[in-house]
Amino acid sequence: MAKKSGKGNELVFVPLGGIGEIGMNLYLYGYGRPHHHKWLVVDMGVTFGGEFEPGIDVILPDIQFLEEESHNIVGLLLTHAHEDHYGAVADLWPHLSDMPVYATPFTAEMLKSKLGENGRMKGFPLKVIPMGSKHSIGPFDIELISMSHSIPEPSAIAITTPLGTVLHTGDWKLDEQPLTSAPTDAGRLQAIGEAGLDALICDSTNAIREGISPSEADVAVTLKKLIADAPQRVAVTTFASNVARLGSVAKAAQDAGRELVVAGRAMFRVIEAAQATGYLDPDLEFHNETAFKKLPPKNVVVLCTGSQGESRAALARAASGEHPHIKLSAGDWVIFSSRTIPGNEKSVGRVMNSLADNKIEIITDQDGLVHVSGHPRKGELEQLYGWVKPKIAVPMHGESRHLEAHAELAEKLGVKKVVRARNGDMVRVLPQPAKIVDEVPVGRLYRDGAILMSADAGPVRERRKLSFAGTITVSVVLSRKGELLADPEVSMAGLPEADNRDISFEEIAREAAIGTVESIPRSRRRDPALVSEAVRRGVRGAINQAWGKKPMCSVLLTVL
């Protein structure tokens, strides 16, 4: 137990990401006097860009608050190795240098691989801790508790200070046969409840769904039958991190006398980590994608990345005929052993439509038990609440509708105080009464290529505008006396060639530029900034009048 007196101190919970959204999980626990906390960081994840963020693959939580408090951070503890829980570490840790990072063996292997790809492994303070172990990190006594989820080694964290104990569940479900790590440790959770749990901060992702999730073992049975019955090739796409699912596909292929092909770098990275930590057979036999063409159609199962419709993943490229090695044809089966994350419906739909156009059979969880979620439904939440009996509940990890369903369930189950928090809220958990006492800055960062930038920065907004209305560039050459030395030159991208009167937009822009320059008194034409802005506004206005849209407009002004 922590030794320092709790008098005058408080335990606070601050989400910087992950509450009110799916993904980008980053949670803080602070202990100490108000405005003088020591911070334990739990998880540091990403979410993924969509059509609203053109050119952006990865979105990270803004850590402005953590940077300001970096001297008070005692460590980062990772609950598991899903991208939305650990994927931001490589990018954000350098801004919080010397912060030790704690992870269980499989999560550590995954993190090492990611850090190695980014050239940041040297000197990284990674501390590997066993499942179920207890540690002191600054003023926090923590205990890892085994949970079930769709990846090896998911842990809940019991966080104890002199003020009491909080249970942070991470991602979890109840599954007696998760096929990788041990099942959820019901006995330890019940013991924590009997000892008295002050607060439960808990996954809400499936709180709107009734009942209890099926087991991963049930999915394995379905996959085995489908792979055995398929008349030709079988492609299976799933979350690359779902080691149990990868193992089930591999075993089903072996039992059916088929060869296993793995397509996608993310799959290889997970397989290597799982073999290194004993969650997959180190002698598992599989081919890389170059072997696909050489295998008879009846004898092949291919594991593909791309379950979320990612355009450069193996499945999307195969569906569009662009993959250099994986070629699917009429009569082949594609099993989507995954769920579509909200926001990815269009991209997944595009891949499915491409497959259908080629008369490839598509099998989803609407057709059979080919996927189960790794998150608790209402029945599982009820069991957990019955075991741990918290005085306080703070729903986390979910969109607003999930959080509210969870909050209402907790109230129905008799929890005395339910705090409805959102990103940036500082919740004083202990001493009671629990309530929101402050707020901290939150936001989003975009990883644009190799560059991190604020979501408020201009480039992504400009790309969004370009996608709607194109761009036009006008080159103007003036003499030192302010006279036009030639007609302006116009370059356009993304605009129609002409308006409804068949007048070209180049001509409209050129005439607008000339008219604007001539309308400016000659004495004022010596101000390049004034002339450039006037021409920009004039051209943009003329295009808008003819088209009904305002393109991005830039002016190149030369004075000779």
**Which residues does residue 435 pair with via DSSP β-bridges, in sequence order?**
428
List Cβ neighbours of 278 (8 Å cut-off, separation of 6 or more).
Answer: none
> Which residues, including other chains, have CB under 8 Å from residue 132's CB and lie 6 or more apart?
143, 144, 145, 146, 185, 188
Q: What are phi and psi of 276, to 5 degrees?
A: -65, -25
At CA 295, angle to CA 294 and CA 296, rounded to 5? 125
Contact, 113 vs 89, CB < 8 A? no
Maximum Cα–Cα distance across the chain: 88
Report the SS3 class of residue 360. Answer: coil
Res 5: pLDDT: 55
Its CATH class, for the domain covering 10-211+373-454, is alpha beta
Residues 171, 206: contact at Cβ < 8 Å? Answer: no
Question: According to CATH, where is 3.40.50.10710 located in the chain?
Answer: 216-363
The CATH number fitting domain 470-559, selected from 3.10.20.580, 3.40.47.10, 3.40.630.30, 3.30.70.360: 3.10.20.580
pLDDT in the model for residue 348:
95
Residue span(s) of the chain under CATH 3.10.20.580 come to 470-559
**DSSP E strands, 245-323:** 259-263, 287-288, 300-304
Q: What letter does residue 338 receive in the DSSP assignment? A: S
Predicted pLDDT of residue 6: 66
Give start-end residues of each CATH 3.60.15.10 domain in the chain: 10-211+373-454
Distance, first Cα to last Cα, the chain: 78
Q: What is the pLDDT along the chain (560 residues), one digit of tens a residue?
A: 444 456 799 999 999 999 999 899 999 999 999 999 999 999 999 988 766 676 777 889 999 999 999 999 999 999 999 999 999 999 999 999 789 999 999 999 999 999 988 777 788 999 999 999 999 999 999 999 999 999 999 999 999 999 999 999 999 999 999 998 889 999 999 999 999 999 999 999 999 999 999 999 999 999 999 999 999 999 999 999 999 999 999 999 999 999 999 999 999 999 999 999 999 999 888 999 999 999 999 999 999 999 999 888 999 999 999 999 999 999 999 999 999 987 789 999 999 999 999 999 999 999 999 999 999 999 999 999 999 999 999 999 999 999 999 999 999 999 999 999 999 999 999 999 999 999 999 999 988 777 787 877 777 777 777 778 889 999 999 998 888 999 999 999 999 999 989 999 999 999 999 999 999 998 898 899 999 999 999 999 999 999 999 999 999 999 98
Question: Which is nearest to 34 in space by CA: 13, 9, 16, 14?
Answer: 9
State the CATH class of domain 216-363: alpha beta
Which residues, other chains included, contact 357 with Cβ-Cβ below 8 Å and sequence gap of 6+? none
By CB atoms closer than 10 A (0-12, 13-18, 19+), residue 103 is buried
